[in-house]
Structure 1
Amino acid sequence: MYKSLVIVESPVKAKTINQYLGDKYIVKSSIGHVRDLLKNQPKKIKKTKNSFFEHHEKKLLIQQMGINPYENWNVEYHILPGKEKIINELKNIANKVDHIYLATDLDREGEAIAWHLKEVIGGDSSKFIRVVFNEITKHSIEKAFQNTGQINMNRVYAQQARRFMDRIVGYMISPLLWKKICRGLSAGRVQSVAVRIITEREDEIKNFISKEYWKLNVSFISFEKKNILMEVTHYKNKILTLHDEKEVNLIIEKLKNQSFFVTDRKEKILYRKPPAPFITSTLQQASSLHLGFSVKKTMFLAQKLYEEGYITYMRTDSFFLSDYAIKKVRSYIKNYYGINFLPETPNIYLNKKNSQEAHEAIRPTDIEITDINQNKMNSDSIKLYKLIWNQFVACQMKPEKYKSIIIKVIVDKFKLKTSGNMMLFEGWTKILKTQKSIQNRLLDCKIGDNLFIEKFLPIQMFTKPSPRFNEASLVRELEKKGIGRPSTYANIITRIKDKGYLKVEKNKFYATKIGAILITQLKKCFTDLVDYDFTARMEQKLDQISDNKISWKKVLDMFFKNFLKQFEQAKKPPENGGMANNITILTNINCDNCNKKMGIKTAITGVFLSCSGYNLKSEERCKHTINLISLNDFNLAKKNDCFKKEPKRKCEKCNLIMDDYLINENLKIYICCNSPICTIYYIEKGKFESFFNSSKKLYCEKCQNNMLLKIGKFGKFFMCVNKTCKNTRKILPNGEISKPKLAPIPFPNILCTKSDAWFVLREGISGIFFAAHTFPRSKETRSPYVEELFQFKHLLPERLHYLADAPKIDEEGNKAIVCFDKLNKRQYVASKKENKFTGWSAFFIKNKWIISNKT
């Protein structure tokens, strides 16, 4: 009989912990949350003669949300589907043990999972013990089980408060957005603020007017025949501003006959302190910058590293490092890099306000592990671990020491300047290499040295708007504004990408028109919801709940009271101050089908022309639409310089830059970026055939009909005009059209394991895969084995025969499966053992398979 049960969230975490606990413990996993609010989707509530919140309608809303904000925030939790078997197993074991250790993660979400587990298991509450640890190592686990405690209900209340607020916003605003703007929209308490950040940057870029300016550099030759490049920076002790080439030429005329001598030389010894250890946000940013990983991927890999015991907990905003960790890393630096690289006392990094003091920064659990065996973790996990390891070691090393040299020349009231750095001691840059501006040619340059003009180097430049956000810079902006917490950044970005409020091209975020409309209406009707300061203050209140400084229900009551007031106003008709409708703007373009006027309409799929006859009775309804092609989307400026030289057209009413779209080969339309609030548009006639060449040449490979260009929620694509065919071809980010899709190939002899279905071979954006033939009833999928493709090679098209001829097993007899290389967009094969990649792989290069064995 076991005396103690230990419950964690992850099976991998359970396996790792089990190594450090003796036979007196049984470790089980809950596999995440076991209980949550109802999963009912928000529904559009029909308006009755009475107000929206009459009794029966209020009751329906409460049933949908699973919480009752009108009666002391009563809540109805339900067991998550599929978790009944896990809970029954935990209950059976719990009845046989003396103690139940709840060892879920140490953040609020982990605390809430521990509380839910205690509630669903039930029984004697004194048996339940809370245990937390920052890393999954023998040292940490033993220490944690010697310092146990109870569930911190204040942290649970903070998690519930966040969950309840998010549920209210989503379930009450979404139906309103469907009615006022379009179906498929939703609002989030934090996600909407993130969308606002991106749309406001989009407006800034769109309305930015670039201004010309110039810089003037002079290339000199010193007496020692060394080249020195200097910039003309000042005139009459004022910063020199050059607006055009004429001004530059005037200065060149003044300088070209002058004699130049070094008039000033300054040297200064400077120190560059090492960077702080990683917290969640800085890890996400560094991973994006150095490894090209998305925020979601970074957190997924970090989670695996944590569960396998390689790094400390990865959701933290604290720079704190334990004495134990500092002692170990200082010893490592002394032994491997020498005493010169070790500071006399440890480097201490101060936390920001409201950070989680009890947490540690992200660091390796064992500094002696410099490389992870690829049999245990994949190559991306190893790269991320190395990034964390380097940062941790560097943060406890001495500063970099360098000499800064500044050389000045003053002639005819002009000041010329150049500077450079010379490293004197590497310090922490021994590990984290940094780009340095080293100009050894300045070392011998002394006051009074004569410099001879080699040539003038005028540079024409243009002012640029702030850059578009990528995932890393958006995380940095959210953190700067105090929006969200370490555990929420990845979820925020994933949600706003999936909703269609923005698109991603070359890792940059572009706001969509529907996203801009959504934020405009939310800013008008729900000022608190998208207000940066309000959202940041709410995060602080959640922290105060966690610290038992304020009642969680009091925070919710205040939030709901203000929200309800704004919600009631937003429901009213636009003429009474309510949320504006997403109207269709009628144009003078006639419908090809019924000759009625076409209207400009915006939906999640984009901006398009829709026949005004759509709103007629069903038998008279016209569903004709015309897709509008955004010139920005297609990067037409790069394809045709004439567009580059066109001045930006402004709306005569709003004085804002207008969006321009192509209707067809002969028509272009300008739409005010403030539409549909502003109904101004312009039609321009011209010759635009070159932009439609690809659509004219593209034919459906299935039925040989024409394919038309469309724009959907996930970007541009071609669709067959034959409605019974429904074949599509995606347009890739580089402008190329994707290859024809593989028609599903039945493999009735290969059976599914989770149902009575059999597999069909399909092709997606990540290559070929097996999927149940009963999809979507059964959603089972998996990668095919090479031996399966070889056995049924006769079913495959010729272009896939090379996969059937790939190596079927590795040197140890492990079966090879078909994989996809997302970076190079190609299929390859790899082997697995016990559901983990072995490191063996093979690539099809120059018509033959090349084996790569990384061990």
Structure 2
Amino acid sequence: MKNLVIVESPAKAKTIEKYLGKDFTVRSSYGHIRDLPKKGMGIDIEHGFEPHYEITPDKKKVVNELKKLAMGAETVWLATDEDREGEAIAWHLAEALGLDKASTKRIVFHEITKPAITQAIEAPRTIDMNLVDAQQARRILDRIVGFELSPILWKKIRTGLSAGRVQSVAVRLIVEREREIEAFEPEVSFRIQGELVLLDDAGQPVDTVAVKLPKAFATESEAHAFLEAAARSQMRVARVEEKPAKRSPRPPFTTSTLQQEASQKLGFSVKQTMTLAQRLYEAGKITYMRTDSVNLSDIALAQAAGVIEREFGKDYVQVRKYKSKSANAQEAHEAIRPTDLSAKVVSQDRNEQRLYELIRKRTLASQMADARLQRTTVDIALSERPEMLQAKGEVVVFDGFMKVYGVPGSEEDSGLLPKMHEGQALKLGTLTARQSFSRGPARYSEAALVRTLEELGIGRPSTYAPTIDTIQQRGYVVKEDREGVERAYRVLSVDESGAVASETRTETTGAEKAKLFPTDIAGIVTDFLMKHFADIMDYQFTAHVEEELDEIAAGELAWRKMLSEFYAKFHPEVEAAEHVSREEAGQVRQLGTDPKTGKPVMVKIGRFGPYVQLGDGGEDGEEKPVFASLSPGQKMDTLTLEDALELFKLPRELGEMPEDFSVEAADGTVFAVHKGARLIAKRGPFGPYLEFGPKQYAPLKGYDPLSMTLEEAVDVVKAHLAAQADKIIRSFPGTNVKILKGRWGPYITDTETKKNAKIAKTEDPMALTLEECQKRLDEAPAAKKRGRRAPARKKKS
């Protein structure tokens, strides 16, 4: 073998292999091959933060195969991605494969096309150790923070928690925004809008004009007085202003702007966008998708100009060169663009194609002419009031880039106004004053969080998607839709009759779609870290770390020096936090005293989330405390004593089953409940449930256990038993083995050991024998344990 080319992904390998001749063999490393060990810190802090890397277990076979190929090759080419992470993977490959770094050729390309690859082969370089050191510094720094901070959280708050240099700051943003929303008090005002009738010189109506009052009134009485005066007023055009305007296109996509636009226009999550973009890049359809740069190459500019002229005409071409705002753009090569702008369809996958079209349109639009507009503003004077009503219109004279990319921003005032001149008379059509409420801060969507992180200088293109994924996986943040609440508002209206009518209407407000909400544990961890690790949580400090990593990449700062300075401040904070009590760290809130028992009531955080506790005894013969989980929507920060006392009303006996009820499954198993069975609403670690017999339970989804009726409970029991019967496909008499319907299709289960085994979609479950089912259960992993663990003994803090 003459040449071995090693890339990161198999898809990329296939694409590159098409462009290289028979003298080249292309293989994939399948991503990272070495990392710090999963167990232990893996860093020798005392000896200059020396990392101890190991080949990850799932990559040992890959490394052995690459070693054999490398030994038989005349030249090895490392063609991993062009960013720091890609450079670090190239270095790890050189280390693991025992390659001579002086003779091993390193090549990079920001697009997988034949010209780009040929150009890279003609101009190889060696591994850039500055980029490698910057990536090493990031990895080591993040491991130190996670390794030393997470155990503190386990000891002081709850096991299983994690902290990270970027993730904890991202969680802080979401927690602080939620608290701003909770503290927000909307301001009320009344806004005037409506329609006037334009009159000709003879006083005859010729057209209608939509108008607004630029100012708002603070009270209903002020709005009422204005409407009455408007109805009495003579109205005339006081001023007509016409002026040309223009709209310019936005730059081509960077990583963060692509994530934001794909979220807003296509409804994609940040992770989904990056997965789709990765596939398009590896297939050679777009340039590299992790970039801070808005620059386009001269070749791309010429190609864009040619496509625009062919498709829309010469008037639509306006070549532009954009510059990145970020002085330290990490991947300052090119913006994200198609490799061939003339290609309109590049994938049979619907979402890949939709993302590609978005990238193509944005790239073309960036090289198109400004849209030219004509804006008209007309002020209308009232004889009885000093304020002026205003009409606005906007027409597109030349659509320019908007032909491809649509209209950015509001189209509220678009449309042509009728011709008007100063002094022309109008009369009242209708005017309304609508009560409006100022909007509080908006919750973050994934795209909005990316934008904020970028603005603050926190993280880099490669870190946004994994950071947002991590904070959701760790249970600090949930992304969900929430229904709004109904709110009343007032509307006043007046027409040419002069009588002001008023009414109260309702609207739904506060509905949320795919927004990020912090969990209770997020607030507790954020407050704890803010108090004891202020530097780690400081936005400017986190951004400063990114700047230092850029300096390391540029060869201006030694990575070990940067880590040493960081650790000298960080480690003493870790040692000091060891002395914080669990009560202080967990922010136990005393809510008051139970009026019936005189015992204290408090709210705490536990393994399964927040809960309330009645009494703090359990020692010296005192009664054990009583516990109750919070209801959905309740929060530790805002829970009151009255709320907590309601929660202690469970378990709640609803009554007795009024009749016998039974359902027979396909295998003959009968599920039954007898008349007289006690129906009891309870709350467990996984939510509220209904007990209707010994070891017989039904989850209460969609019901409040504190207010549900006996009739509703009976319906729940019947529905639950019917669902249990419907679940059974087949059973084997004399054994615990059954075949059940599951969320993803039929599966085998052992009702005693709780072990499950898969059934392929192509298999007929009725054709499986007991022996085959038993064999699969024996080979299946043991069932995961669920439920509460035994309470830990009290430790003195």
Tell me which residue corresponds to 1:371. Answer: 345
Tell me which residue corresponds to 1:259. Answer: 234
Could you say if the C-alpha distance between residues 314 and 707 of structure 1 is closer, same or farther in structure 2, counting changes exceeding 3 Å?
farther
Task: Please tell me the residue identity of whatever aligns with 1:602.
Answer: I
Tell me which residue corresponds to 2:9. Answer: 10
TM norm structure 1: 0.74
Could you say if the C-alpha distance between residues 780 and 140 of structure 1 is closer, same or farther in structure 2, counting changes exceeding 3 Å?
farther
Match of 2:209 among 194, 205, 228: 228
Cα pair 2:330 2:550 within 8 Å, conserved:
no
State the distance in 2 between where 1:448 and 1:711 align: 74
State the distance in 2 between where 1:597 and 1:424 align: 72
State the distance in 2 between where 1:703 and 1:66 align: 57
Tell me which residue corresponds to 1:135. Answer: 111
Could you say if the C-alpha distance between residues 21 and 768 of structure 1 is closer, same or farther in structure 2, counting changes exceeding 3 Å?
same
> C-alpha displacement at 1:357, in angstroms?
5.6
Match of 1:316 among 258, 269, 291: 291
Tell me which residue corresponds to 1:35. Answer: 34
Tell me which residue corresponds to 2:530. Answer: 523
Bigger CA drift: 22-31 or 116-125? Answer: 116-125
Does residue 1:512 correspond to 2:519, yes or no? yes
State the distance in 2 between where 1:163 and 1:685 align: 45
Q: What's the CA shift string for 1:319-366, capped at 9, x where partnerless?
A: 0111111111111111111111112x4343444221136421111111
Q: 5+ unaligned residues in a row in structure 2: which ranges?
A: 200-204, 482-513, 664-670, 704-711, 771-797
> C-alpha displacement at 1:469, in angstroms?
0.7
Task: Please tell me the residue identity of whatever aligns with 2:6.
Answer: I
Bigger CA drift: 579-588 or 140-149? Answer: 579-588
State the distance in 1 between where 2:72 and 2:173 align: 54
Q: What's the CA shift string for 1:198-249, capped at 9, x where partnerless?
A: 111111111111221111224201125322122223xxxxxx4411111111
Tell me which residue corresponds to 2:330. Answer: 356
Tell me which residue corresponds to 1:415. Answer: 388
Does residue 1:299 correspond to 2:274, yes or no? yes
Equivalent position SS for 2:76: strand
Task: Please tell me the residue identity of whatever aligns with 1:404.
Answer: R
Does residue 1:85 correspond to 2:61, yes or no? yes
Could you say if the C-alpha distance between residues 589 and 632 of structure 1 is closer, same or farther in structure 2, counting changes exceeding 3 Å?
closer
State the distance in 1 between where 2:147 and 2:33 align: 22
Match of 1:161 among 125, 137, 149: 137
Q: What's the CA shift string for 1:97-120, capped at 9, x where partnerless?
A: 111111111111111111111101
Equivalent position SS for 2:537: coil
- Root mean square deviation of aligned Cα: 4.0
Match of 1:784 among 751, 755, 761: 761
Cα pair 1:630 1:660 within 8 Å, conserved:
no
Task: Map 1:453-602; keep pairs closer than 5 Å.
Answer: 453-506=428-481, 507-573=514-580, 580-583=585-588, 585=590, 588-589=593-594, 599-602=602-605
Cα pair 1:178 1:185 within 8 Å, conserved:
yes
Equivalent position SS for 2:638: strand
Tell me which residue corresponds to 1:646. Answer: none
Does residue 1:69 correspond to 2:40, yes or no? no
> C-alpha displacement at 1:789, in angstroms?
4.4
State the distance in 1 between where 2:45 and 2:754 align: 36
Tell me which residue corresponds to 1:59. Answer: none
Task: Please tell me the residue identity of whatever aligns with 2:206.
Answer: K
TM norm structure 2: 0.79
Q: What's the CA shift string for 1:510-541, capped at 9, x where partnerless?
A: 22221111111111111111111111111111
Cα pair 2:651 2:680 within 8 Å, conserved:
no
Task: Please tell me the residue identity of whatever aligns with 2:631.
Answer: I
Could you say if the C-alpha distance between residues 346 and 463 of structure 1 is closer, same or farther in structure 2, counting changes exceeding 3 Å?
closer
Equivalent position SS for 1:70: helix
Equivalent position SS for 1:27: strand
> C-alpha displacement at 1:583, in angstroms?
3.5
> C-alpha displacement at 1:125, in angstroms?
3.3
Could you say if the C-alpha distance between residues 609 and 470 of structure 1 is closer, same or farther in structure 2, counting changes exceeding 3 Å?
same
- In the alignment of these two chains, the number of paired residues is 693
Equivalent position SS for 1:226: strand
> C-alpha displacement at 1:267, in angstroms?
1.2
Equivalent position SS for 1:262: strand
Equivalent position SS for 1:370: coil
Does residue 1:768 correspond to 2:745, yes or no? yes
Task: Map 1:333-732; keep pairs closer than 5 Å.
Answer: 333-343=308-318, 345-356=319-330, 358-374=332-348, 378-411=349-382, 412-434=385-407, 436-437=411-412, 440-506=415-481, 507-573=514-580, 580-583=585-588, 585=590, 588-589=593-594, 599-603=602-606, 605-610=608-613, 625-631=627-633, 659-660=638-639, 668-669=643-644, 718=689
Q: Percent identity?
A: 35
Task: Please tell me the residue identity of whatever aligns with 2:575.
Answer: E
Could you say if the C-alpha distance between residues 498 and 711 of structure 1 is closer, same or farther in structure 2, counting changes exceeding 3 Å?
farther
State the distance in 2 between where 1:86 and 1:142 align: 27
State the distance in 1 between where 2:662 and 2:248 align: 61
Equivalent position SS for 1:90: helix
Could you say if the C-alpha distance between residues 581 and 349 of structure 1 is closer, same or farther in structure 2, counting changes exceeding 3 Å?
closer
Equivalent position SS for 2:5: strand
> C-alpha displacement at 1:708, in angstroms?
5.4
Task: Map 1:189-200; keep pairs closer than 5 Å.
Answer: 189-200=165-176
> C-alpha displacement at 1:168, in angstroms?
1.1
Could you say if the C-alpha distance between residues 205 and 712 of structure 1 is closer, same or farther in structure 2, counting changes exceeding 3 Å?
farther
State the distance in 2 between where 1:441 and 1:482 align: 43
Could you say if the C-alpha distance between residues 133 and 744 of structure 1 is closer, same or farther in structure 2, counting changes exceeding 3 Å?
farther
Tell me which residue corresponds to 1:26. Answer: 25
Equivalent position SS for 2:112: coil
Cα pair 1:409 1:415 within 8 Å, conserved:
yes
State the distance in 1 between where 2:249 and 2:759 align: 46
Could you say if the C-alpha distance between residues 568 and 347 of structure 1 is closer, same or farther in structure 2, counting changes exceeding 3 Å?
same
Could you say if the C-alpha distance between residues 579 and 77 of structure 1 is closer, same or farther in structure 2, counting changes exceeding 3 Å?
farther
Q: What's the CA shift string for 1:529-573, capped at 9, x where partnerless?
A: 111111111111111111111111111111111101222222224
State which structure, 1 or 2, has the greater radius of gyration over its C-alpha atoms: 2
Cα pair 1:294 1:471 within 8 Å, conserved:
yes
Task: Please tell me the residue identity of whatever aligns with 1:784.
Answer: K
Q: What's the CA shift string for 1:482-504, capped at 9, x where partnerless?
A: 11111000111111111122222
State the distance in 1 between where 2:478 and 2:255 align: 24
Could you say if the C-alpha distance between residues 346 and 557 of structure 1 is closer, same or farther in structure 2, counting changes exceeding 3 Å?
same
Cα pair 1:30 1:86 within 8 Å, conserved:
yes
Match of 2:222 among 222, 225, 247: 247
Task: Please tell me the residue identity of whatever aligns with 2:210.
Answer: L
State the distance in 2 between where 1:722 and 1:110 align: 60
Cα pair 1:717 1:731 within 8 Å, conserved:
no
Task: Please tell me the residue identity of whatever aligns with 2:638.
Answer: D
Could you say if the C-alpha distance between residues 686 and 27 of structure 1 is closer, same or farther in structure 2, counting changes exceeding 3 Å?
closer
State the distance in 1 between where 2:176 and 2:454 align: 17
Task: Map 1:133-212; keep pairs closer than 5 Å.
Answer: 133-212=109-188
Equivalent position SS for 1:184: coil
> C-alpha displacement at 1:769, in angstroms?
7.1
> C-alpha displacement at 1:588, in angstroms?
3.9
Cα pair 1:606 1:711 within 8 Å, conserved:
no
